[in-house]
Amino acid sequence: MSNIPKDLQYTQSHEWIRRLGDGQVEVGITDHAQGALGDLVFVEVPEVGRLVKAGEGCAVVESVKAASDVYSPVNGKVTASNTELASRPELLNQDPYGAGWLMRVELDSSAKGAELLSAGDYANSLADAAG
């Protein structure tokens, strides 16, 4: 069973967000997502300063098996991205909710973000998909 921390919020497309306070969030992909992808070999993170929209592709994670887009769960401006992943993509497999974070975003509160799930709802959606 994959790890789903209670203090984060999730999307149906397997991203997580962590509220950092001061209108900032951290974004990554879930343990379930990294497990399904297998060993990651390339990660492309967004440039700092880029404006991202909810539902828009903001990063690419490529594993031995396949390349996948990561969709921004929120609207806002990228304030930091995890450049460590360029040389150490395996961090995303080893620690998807910590050292494997993808970007930090300063939220644009004027626009509506994607619908976010609680840990419990995300766990249920995984269970439904596994059916």
Partner 1 sequence: MGLKTPLYDTHVAQGAKIVDFGGWDMPLHYGSQIEEHHAVRRDAGMFDVSHMGVVDLSGSRVRDFLRQLLANDVARLKIHGKALYSCMLLPSGGVLDDLIVYYLGDSSYRMVVNAGTRAKDLAWIREHAAPFEVGVEERSDFAMIAVQGPRARDKVLALLPEELRAAASSLGAFVGGDFGSWFIARTGYTGEDGFEIMLPADEAAATWAGLHALGVAPAGLGARDTLRLEAGMSLYGNDLDEDHDPLESGLEWTVAFDPNRDFSGRAALEKARSSPGRRLVGLLLEDRGVLRSHQKVIADRQGAAAMLGEVTSGTFSPTLSRSIALARVPVGVGPRVQVDIRGKLHSATVVKPPFVRHGKPMIPPAQENS
Q: Which positions touch partner 1 (CB under 8 A)?
A: 38-39, 41-42, 44, 62, 64-67, 86-87, 90, 93
Residue 67 Cβ, how far from partner 1 at the closest point, in Å? 6
Residue 105 Cβ, how far from partner 1 at the closest point, in Å? 24
Residue 88 Cβ, how far from partner 1 at the closest point, in Å? 10
Residue 81 Cβ, how far from partner 1 at the closest point, in Å? 16
Q: Considering beta carbons, is residue 7 or 129 the nearer one to partner 1?
A: 129
Q: What does the chain look like in DSSP terms, one character per residue?
A: -----TTSEE-TTSEEEEEEETTEEEEEE-HHHHHHH-SEEEEEPPPTT-EE-TTSEEEEEEESS-EEEEE-SS-EEEEEE-THHHH-THHHHH-TTTTT--EEEEE-TTS-----B-HHHHHHHHHHHH-
Q: Considering beta carbons, is residue 99 or 107 the nearer one to partner 1?
A: 99
CA 7 to chain centre: 14
Q: Considering beta carbons, is residue 41 or 107 the nearer one to partner 1?
A: 41
Q: Considering beta carbons, is residue 40 or 74 the nearer one to partner 1?
A: 40
